[in-house]
Amino acid sequence: MSSLLTNTSAMTALQTLRNVSSSLATTQNRISTGYRVATASDNSAYWSIATTMRSDNEALSAVSDALGLGAATVDTMYTALTSVVGDSKSGLTALKAKLVAAREPGVDRVKVQSEITAIQDDLKNTAGLAVFNGENWLSVDSSVTGYNATKSVVSSFTRVGGTVAIKTIDVNIDKLKLYDPNGGTPAGIMDKTVTVGTATDAVSTIDIHLLTDSAADLTKLDGLIGIVDQALGSVTQASADLGATKTRIDSNSNFIKSLRDAIDRGVGQLVDADMNAESTRLQALQTQQQLGIQALSIANSGSQSILSLFK
């Protein structure tokens, strides 16, 4: 039955055209944005997960920056400790060699002391210059208000369920510090008073210019050599500990970078559009749209043919 009031064919063609146009708009939006899920209305679950993971990834970016800052600080202190250990010409190694040389009877210990004083000054200067971002872990003042012997480097950001946790790599600078002018407890390695044999002294205050070749003075000199040797062992251990911390920070930093890439890939799997599929779908929908327009045109022209019945 043909009707002027109800054109069933046109209604069907129009509904089909609306559906095709809606799908076409969705596909065009995916192609223009690159996202299959761009808003919560596209897929609320995936959008929520992706938004949370993007936020966490930014937190991991901050962790990566903190690790970089921590690595630079640790590297500065590690370099200074390595310099303090020294070699035949500088550092504790040279200081011990000078004391051993002073053990020889007849040596001018006044001249040797001038060399020792120069080394002591150089050691203190090295510790004082070990500063990065306002931090110095080797020359400290434990009497300052707010002093904290534990230095923390943010190392990770985790989310388990809805619980967020921040983890750190901690460094106890009481085990590293070389100087603490206010007699901190414990004192610094260089200004800590140690007794070895008959000698009681600190590396920073050793003075041999008054020592003679007497048995008592030579025994004291042996004790001073022991004091320096103990300090050298402590600095070597501190260097080893800080080196291990440096390796740990570097490892964490590399892992964080890889983790961020993995999260980016995971989020992409959830919300990114498959451009190959979308381009194919776009061509198909454009063809369907053209056919829908033609079908609607044909359906609308049907009512015009009714006029011929009244001529």
Q: Over the stretch 163-175, which tens digit does the pLDDT of each residue have?
A: 889 999 999 998 8
Question: Does position 275 have pLDDT exceeding 80, yes or no?
Answer: yes
The angle, 0 to 180 degrees and rounded to 10, between the axes of the packed helices 91-102 and 215-271 is 170
- The per-residue pLDDT of the chain, averaged, comes to 88
Q: Which two tokens stand for residue 145?
A: 């208000």
Q: What is the mean pLDDT of residues 11-29?
A: 84
> Picking from 9-23, 163-177, 295-309, which range would have the lowest pLDDT averaged per residue?
295-309
Go through the domains of the chain in sequence order and give each one's CATH number. 37-296 (1.20.1330.10)
308 Cβ contact partners less than 8 Å away, ≥ 6 residues apart = none
Looking at residue 301, its pLDDT comes to 75
Q: Which two tokens stand for residue 112?
A: 């040797």
Q: Over the stretch 221-259, which tens digit does the pLDDT of each residue have?
A: 999 999 999 999 999 999 999 999 999 999 999 999 999
Percent of the chain residues past pLDDT 90, beyond the cut = 50
| Among 62, 126, 69, 68, CA closest to 94 | 126
Q: Which two tokens stand for residue 15?
A: 């509904």
pLDDT band at 5 (very low <50, low <70, confident <90, very high): low
